[in-house]
Amino acid sequence: MTSKGQITVPKDVREDLGLVPGSKVMFVKLPNGQYNVVPRTGKIQDLFGMLHQPGVPAMTIEEINDAIAEGGAESGMRGMEG
């Protein structure tokens, strides 16, 4: 990783993901703490099922909204600790 946070994606990975110069990618955090790199050129359907955990009930809209609000509050406070 460079000092500016840039990374080099190996050629075989670029080819597998269909990345070309100027492509954008997303880093999607999975429930187990790992990340998936997903090309942003894909369709939303490509993400379907990525976060599903068998045996774990789906979150309600309220739970999702609470999680988003909590994540936003945490990211807003990042760097403000003494």
Question: Residue 77: what are its φ and ψ, rounded to 5°?
Answer: -90, -10
Residue 61 lies in a domain: yes
19 touches 3 (CB < 8 A): no
Residue 82 lies in a domain: no
Residue 50 lies in a domain: yes
Residue 55 lies in a domain: yes
Q: What is the pLDDT of residues 24-82, one digit of tens each?
A: 888 888 888 888 888 876 555 555 555 666 777 777 788 777 777 776 655 555 555 54
Residue 29 lies in a domain: yes
Residue 34 lies in a domain: yes
Domain interval for residue 43: 11-77
Residue 4 lies in a domain: no
Tokens standing for residue 65? 């909204």
Residue 69 lies in a domain: yes
Q: Name the domain count of the chain.
A: 1
